[in-house]
Each structure stands twice: as C-alpha cells, then as structure tokens.
Amino acid sequence: MVENGKRTKRLVLVLLLALVATAIFQIRVALADVPSVLSIEPWTSGADTILNITVTHSSPTSSHYVNKVEVDVNGTINDIDLTPQSTVTFTVQYDLGELAVEVPVQARAYCTIHGWSNWSSPVVVPEFSFVQLLPILAGVSIAVLLLRRVVVKNGTFQSKRSADC
C-alpha cells in the first residue's frame, strides 16, 4: 500500500511539472500569411484574351512577397514570375492569346515564406455575354432566312406556308 502511495505522488509530481513546463514554454499558433487569388477577370485586346488576376497578400516586404503566380489553362500550368510588391492587393496580367474555344482557367500564388495559396475557383474563358452573342445570332438568323429563300426558289423545298396556299 505504501508503494501505491509513492506511485501516486510521482504521477502527481510528473503532471505538475508538465503543467509548469507548458505554462513556461507556451506553444503559440503560427498564423501563416498565405496569399489568396481574389478573382480572375478576362477581357479582350484585339483578338487576344487577357486575364486580370487579382491577388492579396498581407505585409509584403522585399523578402516576403508573392514571387510567382501559376495559371492553369485547361490542365496546362503556366508560370508568371513577379518582383516584390508594395501593396497588399495587386493585379497580374496573363495573355492567353487568341482563343477558338472556351477553356477553364484557375490560378494560385506563391509566397516566398509561406508557400502556395489554394487554387482559385475555375473560370471559363471566354465568357460570351448576350451583347457579344447578339451579332452571331443575327448572322445565323439571316443565313437561315436566305438559305430558305434560295431553296424555295429552286423548288426543292416547300415551306408549310407555301403548301397551304
């Protein structure tokens, strides 16, 4: 029974020392300053599609900054090397060239100290707005009307209207 009391005292002593050590040597949570890609905005310059990639990164210095942005264009990774920034939020441009089809695009940024950000949400480029599609729809409609008129004149096609007459 005496030995059992000694074990209990030793256990209490070890736990007390562990508590004191923890209080003296506090473990601090490291708050990493990882950059973040806020947005990817496509625009056109002539026939080329340009991406404006907006990145944010707190407390930039000459040794702590975003030195690279990676752009994933439909599975192909392209690097953009950067010099130190003086602002927290900045925009990087990337020229995709002339695009014949829509492609998914996403980006991420690399901090010289804290590493890579997460990939941004994918953006499909180019995104055609209604204003851009209107001339295409008008051209297709005119082509269909002209084709219909030519076919009816040749007698090889008869529309429902002309059959009723």
Cα–Cα distance list, 22 to 11, 12, 13, 29, 31 (Å): 16, 15, 14, 14, 20
Range of the domain at 58: 36-125
pLDDT tens by residue, 114-127 = 999 999 999 998 76
Please state which of the ranges 12-21, 78-87, 92-101, 118-127 shows the lowest mean pLDDT: 12-21
23 within domain boundaries: no
- Residue 75 inside a domain? The answer is yes
Cα dihedral 140, 146, 152, 155, rounded to 10, equals -110
* pTM of the predicted protein model: 0.60
Instruction: Decide if 115 is inside a domain.
Output: yes
pLDDT of 29 higher than 50: no
Q: Residue 31: beta bridge partners?
A: none
Report yes or no on 68 lying in a domain: yes
CB 124 within 8 A of CB 49: no
Q: With contact defined as beta carbons under 8 Å apart, do 112 and 65 qualify?
A: yes
The helix or strand, by DSSP H or E, that contains position 12, with its residue range, turns out to be helix 2-24
* pLDDT of amino acid 103: 94
- What is the average pLDDT score of the chain? 82
Residue 75: give its domain's CATH number: 2.60.40.730
